[in-house]
């Protein structure tokens, strides 16, 4: 019967002891979580991926969009198409003109053969007359006539030879027009320039877009980075190509990365970035890139926008901790 009364009498002291133990435990855990090995620094940031806008080269009506937000696409995969009918009609017209130009060039070449034959005959006739006049078998007037006929035949041959060049140029121009329209026709098919993930679908079938109108935004999941801001004392010790580790809030294991950019100039810290010392206003931006080998097996886990902490080495000999502190 004495035991319950003992606890009632000492309940305030027991409560104070428990509170003190809890406070001490929290204090110990807090300072343990803040402890970081020498030669390492950290910064807060969010994952970012390169965004590519797939847009129309031509003005026209959007015929179809074959992808949706969140879809993974491969390089060269069809994303959208524009209406083709008008361009196809223009292409058929250009092909007909090219065929007509070839037929015309063929006819000109046939006329060249005829003109060459006429010129050759006129030359032979003139040569015979030149031999006969030396023997006084023909008059000078007859020789002059053959000379005139030879000159006419030669002039006609020169004309048709020039027509060959013009006909060949017309064929080349017609073929170039066909090639240009064929290339333009290909531009009505929008394809993914890289493998990635559709972030935004910006237009729908039936919409009329101007040249340069955006249809979808594609994320390059092979180029995932995170930027952090460090004071000059730390940023000056970071070297390009050095190893980094990213601890994402959503993942338990560190993500391997490398330093790919160190800003040569200080800048004001962006409002959304928290720093350890709020009195430091000028910071240097450091960008790290997630290792492609890790992304190849974790592409669905590394999502742009995920918050995390980047740990960097200010000393190349610094060792990574077995467990990263909680930030």
pLDDT digits (tens, 9 = 90+) for 106-154: 877 777 666 666 767 667 776 666 666 666 666 666 656 776 776 777 7
Both tokens of 141, joined, read: 């007037």
Domain termination residue (choose one: 171, 200, 215): 215
**Would 262 be classed as within a structural domain?**
no
Q: Judge if 134 and 209 occupy the same domain.
A: no
**Against a cut of 0.85, is the pTM above it?**
no
Q: Within a domain: residue 182? A: yes
Give the pLDDT score at 135. Answer: 66
Shared domain check, 202 and 159: no
- The answer as to whether 179 is a domain residue is yes
- Same domain? For 149 and 182 the reply is yes
Quick one: pLDDT band at residue 198, thresholds 50, 70, 90? very high
- Quick one: average pLDDT of 180-190? 84
Q: pLDDT-based confidence at 259, cuts 50/70/90?
A: very high
140 and 199, same domain (yes or no):
no
Among the candidates 165, 196, 215, a domain finishes at: 215
Nearest to 327 by CA among 304, 315, 307, 309: 309
109 and 160 together in one domain: yes
The range of the structural domain enclosing residue 207 comes to 53-82+188-215
Per-residue pLDDT tens digits for 267-278:
665 555 545 454
Range of weakest confidence among 97-111, 199-213, 253-267: 97-111
Q: Is 90 a domain residue?
A: yes
Q: Is 100 contained in some domain?
A: yes
Q: Per the domain annotation, does 323 fall within a domain? A: no
Helix (H) or strand (E) holding 259: strand 255-262
- Judge if 113 and 69 occupy the same domain: no
The answer as to whether 236 is a domain residue is: no
Tokens read off for 31:
């300072």
Same domain for 175 and 142?
A: yes
> Based on the domain organization, do 76 and 153 belong to the same domain?
no
User: Using CA atoms, how far apart are residues 319 and 245, in angstroms rounded to an integer?
Assistant: 12
Q: How confident is the model at residue 174 (pLDDT cuts 50, 70, 90)?
A: confident
pLDDT at 68: 94
Confidence of residue 162 (pLDDT cuts 50, 70, 90): confident
Residues 192 and 179 in one domain: no
Residue 29 has pLDDT above 50, yes or no: no
In a domain, 226, yes or no: no
Which has more confidence, 301 or 254? Answer: 254
What 3-state DSSP class applies to 248?
strand
Closest CA to 76 of 190, 213, 182: 190
CATH number for position 211 = 2.40.50.100
Model confidence at 306: pLDDT above 70:
yes
Q: What is the mean pLDDT of residues 23-40?
A: 55
Q: 59 and 182: one domain?
A: no
Angle at 38 between CA 33 and CA 250, to 5 degrees: 40
Digit-coded pLDDT (tens) for 64-81: 999 999 899 999 999 999
Domain count, the chain: 2
* pLDDT over 70, % of the chain: 73
In this structure, the answer to whether residues 72 and 109 fall within a common structural domain is: no
- Residues 98, 174, single domain; the answer is yes
- What are the Cα distances from residue 181, in Å, to 89, 94, 293? 10, 8, 42
Decide which of 137, 170, 186 is a domain's last residue: 186
């Amino acid at each position: 019967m004495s035991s319950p009364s003992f606890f009632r009498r000492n309940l305030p002291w027991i409560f104070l002891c428990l509170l003190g133990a809890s406070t001490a435990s929290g204090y110990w855990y807090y300072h343990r979580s803040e402890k970081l090995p020498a030669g390492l620094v950290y910064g807060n940031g969010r994952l970012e991926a390169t965004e590519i806008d797939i847009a129309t080269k031509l003005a026209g009506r959007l015929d179809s969009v074959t992808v949706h937000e969140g879809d993974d696409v491969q390089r060269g995969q069809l994303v959208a198409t524009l209406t083709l009918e008008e361009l196809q009609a223009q292409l058929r017209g250009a092909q007909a003109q090219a065929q007509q130009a070839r037929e015309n060039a063929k006819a000109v070449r046939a006329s060249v053969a005829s003109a060459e034959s006429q010129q050759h005959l006129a030359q032979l006739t003139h040569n015979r007359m030149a031999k006969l006049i030396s023997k006084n078998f023909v008059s000078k007037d007859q020789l002059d006539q053959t000379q005139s006929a030879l000159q006419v035949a030669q002039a006609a041959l020169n004309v048709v030879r020039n027509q060959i060049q013009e006909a060949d140029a017309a064929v080349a121009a017609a073929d170039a027009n066909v090639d240009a329209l064929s290339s333009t026709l290909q531009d009505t098919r929008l394809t993914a320039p890289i493998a990635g993930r559709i972030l935004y679908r910006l237009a729908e079938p039936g919409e009329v877009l101007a040249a340069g109108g955006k249809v979808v935004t594609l994320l390059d999941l092979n180029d995932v980075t995170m930027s952090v801001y460090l004071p000059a004392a730390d940023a000056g010790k970071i070297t390009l190509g050095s190893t980094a580790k990213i601890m994402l809030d959503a993942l338990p294991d560190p993500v391997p990365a490398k330093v790919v950019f160190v800003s040569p100039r200080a800048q004001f810290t962006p409002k959304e970035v928290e720093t350890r010392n709020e009195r430091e206003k000028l910071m240097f931006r450091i960008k790290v890139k997630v290792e492609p080998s890790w992304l190849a097996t974790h592409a669905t886990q590394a999502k742009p926008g995920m918050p995390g902490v980047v740990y960097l080495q200010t000393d190349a000999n610094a060792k990574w901790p077995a467990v990263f502190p909680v930030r």
